[in-house]
Each structure stands twice: as structure tokens, then as C-alpha cells.
Amino acid sequence: MALSKLPRRHWPSVLHFGRCQRALQTDAPIAESTRLFGPTRTKRDRNWNGLSHPHPIQSTTYRDQLCPRPIHTKAVLTSLASNNDNNTHTRDMAMEEKLQSVGFREWLAAAYPWTRAPLIVGAPMRVMSGPELAVAVSRAGGFGFIGPGEKPESTAADLETAKGLIADSGIEYPGPVLPIGVGFQIWNGNVDVSASAVLEYRPAAAWLFAPRHGQTDVDVWTKRLREASPETKIWLQIGTLQEALDAARSASPPDVLVVQGAEAGGHGRASDGIGFITLLPEIADATRGSGIPLIAAGGVADGRGVVAALGVGAAGVSMGTRFLASQEARIKKGYQDEVVRAMDGGASTARTHLYNHLRGTFGWPEQFSPRTIVNRSWEEQQAGTAFEDIKKRHDEAVSKGDAAWGPQGWTATYAGANVGLIRNVARAGEIVEGARDEAAKIIEALSGL
């Protein structure tokens, strides 16, 4: 049907689809495909388009990323329908570009067919998200990640366990990849050992984090992991606009960017982090045309956070701290009790290397530091007590088991600023389904506005 015969409010979807078809028919580099995407240009777009993107469109899969299927979800139709016909075409396109994440959500659903929308990801948390947690999240229609282990070799052992759990789980997935992901920490990881685990077990995604030398290090890992398992998608967690731009401009761009906000538990940006509520839409604007979906992380513990993330342009949401209080987490009881007990994360958590050092962990790149629930060690440090004295008390407390945690405890309790939203230990599947259901109800309630 000719465009002019359609109601004006339906033009954006049709135009978008047409552009995608043209992009699919060309072997032009990304910059050319980007040009095909809509007339609206922002300052950021000009910056983006000014780049000579070195990565040609090489495969149908990659083109699919560039061209998510046309937008036709209820939310978008409602949104577009609410535009009256006097709106200009340019204004409709700008709204459509802002809703690019809706198309990405559909691409993610196709890439990870066992998942249900909105996509809830169980973040890789070092040691604490093991195979039981990752598989439980994926079984509930989320996307579970195994975290890095005590040593690089631990990942293969965890993947072997996960493979057995998946076989018994009833998760329906087409293969050839396992319906879980695995996280690697670049600065102290071993790329050879990691590539070998990915080659043997073929997880659906490999999540990279914490390079010492930025995108240069990320590129090395990306290439090695893609060589080992081309079907394994590369997810990269970043926490600043610059990191996102470096990734999108790279010759080996990630398949997915996880935008980690400052509220996040565990390691994140030490001094230049901000909440994803502002960071993610700015990154979405700046990387528009790159075809890379964004996942929001940091501070989300329930359906309210999920809706907030979707509202600012995320294609899905990653939760870490909430899953520390899951039955499947690989965590000590004293630690888990403290995550449930703590409130008011602005006051009860802080970013500090103190607990890394008390645990004997040194060498983290200076751009990162961990968020933790604070306790006696922190208070003593703030009061000026010497590190050696705190360390002595810390080590004594650790030998007492679960009493090492809590307000009178001394040991590391890495967790996010969202601890006040976490009030019980639940099955991981309940957490995933609860957040998804709550998000759907909120979206429905808001759609009447």
C-alpha cells in the first residue's frame, strides 16, 4: 500500500521497515546504513556519523541487529496512536528513534528464545552467581549468567555443572549454545583459559567487564572468544559514555552493551559513575545507528526499576544484588542476612577499596571500586584507625563465620544501593517472574495516562 494511503500515525513503522529493507540489501558500511535510518540528526548523531566506522555489515545476523523488526508492540502503538495527526513527520521519527529499544527487545527475544519480555538478566557476580542461580534465572524466562570463579579454571567446572542442570531443567532452546551466559573479569582473567571454556561449552553469551586498558583489552578478549565460539554473543558492561563510544566505534564492537549505573553493587566506576536514568538515554542517543542494544544495570530490584529502565531506552534489565538474596545464590548466610537486613543504601553502602584490601585483593585498575554495605571496618577507617589494626579485627571476625557480617561485623558485604528494596530471600525464579509481572502491571496502569 502506498504510504500516502496510510494514516499518518502509521508512517514511522513503515518508513523504519523500509529503511531496514534497504539496509539489508546493501553491503554498505555501518555509516551508510546509519544514514538510512531517519532524517532526524542530533549533535550526538553527527558525532557518530562523522566517524568512519570500520566494521562492515558482514552477515545477516549483524544486519538483523541493525534492523530490528518493525515496531508493533502494544506500548509503541499506544504511544504513536496518541500522537495526533497534526504532528509533523519529523516529530514522529524522533519518537521512533527514542523507541529504538523496542525493536532491540524483539531482536533479543529472537536471539534468546527461552527468554520472555521484558528481559530480566541475572548478572554475573564473582563466585556468588554459580550454575544453580544462572540456570534458575534462565528457567524462569530470564537470562542467567555464571560469574567468574575463584580462579580462571573454575568457569569450565561451573559450565559443566550448568550443562547437567540445563539438561534436567526443561528449558526449551534450539542450540547450539547453552541458554545461559558466563562473565569474565578482564584485568585479572586469563583469556586462553576463558576461550577454551567457551569453546567447549558454548554459552549463549560471554559478559566482559573491568579492562585495565579500556577497549584495547576488550578487543583482544572479544576476538579470542568469537574465534572460539562465533555463536556466543559478546556482552560488555560499561559505566561511562566514553566507554560506550569506544566500544561502539571499535573494529570488534560488542553485541550488547550493559550500562551499569552508579547504584550497582560490586565493582563499578570509582569516581565518574552516574545513575543509569541519565547515563543510558545519553548513551542511546550517542550510539544510535550502531545497532547495539542496551541493558540497564544498577539499582533495579523489582518491577518498578524494570519499568524505569525500559522507559529510558533499555532493551532489558540486569539485576545483581537482588539475586544475592535468592535461594540459589552461592553465598554465606551471614552475608545474605545482611543484604536482607540493610536499608537506606545511600547511607548504608559506600564505594571503597578497603574491603578488597582486607581480603588481600590488590591490583584492581584505579577506574573501578566496589560498592559494599559498610560496617565496623569502615567506621574504624573513617575514625582514623590504622589499616593493620582493622585487618587484625577483620581476620578475627572472619574466623567466627556468619558473625563476620552485620553492623557489628568487619568483613566485605558487596551489595548495591538498592538493599533497602530487598526484604526476603526468594527463589530466583520467583524474583524473575515477580519483577516481570510487576513491570507488566505498572506499564498497563501507566498506559491510561
Ligand X SMILES: Cc1cc2nc3c(=O)[nH]c(=O)nc-3n(C[C@H](O)[C@H](O)[C@H](O)COP(=O)(O)O)c2cc1C
Q: Which residues here bind ligand X, judged by CB under 6 A?
A: 123-126, 128, 147-148, 183, 185, 207, 209, 237, 260, 263-266, 297-300, 318-322, 414-416, 418
CB closest to ligand X, residue no: 320
CB of 38 to ligand X, least distance (A): 31
Cβ count within 10 A of residue 274? 17
Strands 266-269 and 368-373: antiparallel
| Nearest alpha carbon to residue 344 among 410, 263, 271 | 263
Task: List strand residue ranges (DSSP E) for 152-225, in order.
Answer: 178-185, 203-209
Q: In sequence order, what DSSP letters do the residues of 38-70 get, joined into one string? A: -S---HHHHHHHTS----B--SHHHHHHHSPPP
Q: How far is the CB of 68 from ligand X (least distance, A)?
A: 25
Q: How far is the CB of 382 from ligand X (least distance, A)?
A: 22
> What is the C-alpha to C-alpha distance for residues 317 and 308, in angstroms, rounded to an integer?
10
Nearer to ligand X, 34 or 237 (CB): 237
Structure-block grid coordinates of residue 306: 524494570
Min dist. Cβ of residue 76 to ligand X (A): 27
CA 177/CA 195 separation, integer angstroms: 15
- Closer to ligand X by CB, 289 or 320: give it: 320
Q: Are 304 and 130 in contact (CB under 8 A)?
A: no
Q: What is the DSSP letter of 189?
A: -
Nearer to ligand X, 92 or 302 (CB): 302
- Residue 195 or 373 with smaller CB distance to ligand X: 373
- Four-CA torsion 334, 339, 344, 350, nearest 10 degrees: 80
| Angstrom distance (rounded) from CA 254 to CA 247 | 7
Q: How far is the CB of 300 from ligand X (least distance, A)?
A: 6
State the residue for C-alpha cell 533497602.
420
Closest approach of Cβ 147 to ligand X, in Å? 5
138 vs 418 by CB, closer to ligand X: 418
Nearer to ligand X (CB atom), residue 12 or residue 299: 299
Nearer to ligand X, 275 or 311 (CB): 275
The answer to whether the beta carbons of residues 279 and 376 sit under 8 Å apart is: no
Are the CB atoms for 442 and 304 separated by under 8 Å? yes
For ligand X, the closer CB: 103 or 370:
370
Q: How far is the CB of 264 from ligand X (least distance, A)?
A: 3
